[in-house]
Amino acid sequence: MSLYCIGDLQGCQLPFQRLLEKIEFSPSRDTLYLMGDLVNRGPDSLGVLRSLAALGDAAQCLLGNHDLHLLALWQGVRKPGRKDTLQAVLQAPDSQALLDWLRHRSMAIHRHGWLMVHAGVLPQWSTAQTMALAAEVEQVLRGPDLKGFLSAMYGNTPTRWHDRLEGADRLRVIVNALTRLRFCTQEGVMEFTSSEGASGAPHGYMPWFEVPGRGTEGTLMAFGHWSTLVTDARPGIGLRHNTLPLDTGCVWGGCLTAARLGAAAGDFELISVKCNQAQKPAKQAD
């Protein structure tokens, strides 16, 4: 049995299939953990969703900001963006089944000694609190007021966490941290305009994983979302403050990367395939 954490697919179905071939993946034996942003910007989001749904429990998927955007399009609370590549999903004959499957994916996973999220966690949150807050969002996503939740999900405020937050503000902060966070202050104030690498933090901010004394610093973490942290799967990629970034820019012409988790704590092996996308952005999008 092998366990793999895989970075952002973003609709790159062919590289995903090549990666599965390279690792000799067997759904009866192995388990994949996908770090979110399963769809959008790449050429075959429909193929990705069909493949993952068909794998059943062998593919454990997180929700990223692009996946939530697809759900918002489905519910009619957002309009497609100029760079979206999601129409094939929305128009497919099995669209309803796939999108219902998508809304039942996870916001955070804690297994095999690793805490997995799409983007990041706030410094005030412990591992247990992160899982509890993720469960609050999951409950709403799977409930009867999906459209109402998605309608109130967008926005950059509140910019920091308070235990007393309630309603839409509470859920928005949780979603923003888990699916959009890159930089924050030591007090946990989030910043959403910058998408540079770790060295490009705006004044007064730092990468979320570098905040001293953050509540999850004793837990191994895997995450995606931030392709400018790692532009390819070169051997030098490794743990950063007990965290493993796995978005290696597949959709932007980089690699698709899997980390095979070892038996010892913090042990992993990186496996990657080139993606050879035709276009690269001038600046990484959120």
- Does 126 reside within a domain? yes
Residue 283 lies in a domain: no
Residue 14 resides in a domain: yes
Q: What is the CA radius of gyration of the chain?
A: 17
pTM over 0.85? The answer is yes
Residue 54 lies in a domain: yes
CATH, residue 30: 3.60.21.10
Task: Compute the distance between CA of residue 55 and CA of residue 57 in angstroms, rounded to an integer.
Answer: 6
* Dihedral in degrees, nearest 10, Cα atoms 226, 227, 228, 231: 150
* Distance from C-alpha of 55 to C-alpha of 226, rounded to nearest angstrom: 26
Structure tokens at 231: 């532009």
Q: What is the mean pLDDT of each run of 10 residues along the chain (286 residues)?
A: 97 98 98 98 98 98 98 97 96 98 98 98 98 98 98 98 98 98 98 90 96 97 92 56 94 94 93 74 46
Q: Is 147 part of any domain?
A: yes
Residue-level pLDDT at 19: 98
Domain with 75 in it = 3-274
Question: What is the number of domains present in the chain?
Answer: 1
Residue 285 belongs to some domain of the structure? no
Domain-embedded: residue 94: yes
Residue-level pLDDT at 55: 98
What is the DSSP code string of 134-176? HHHHHHHHTSTTHHHHHHHH----S-S--TT--HHHHHHHHHH
- Beta strands at 114-116 and 255-261: parallel, antiparallel or unpaired: unpaired
**Residue 202 CA from chain centroid, whole number:** 23
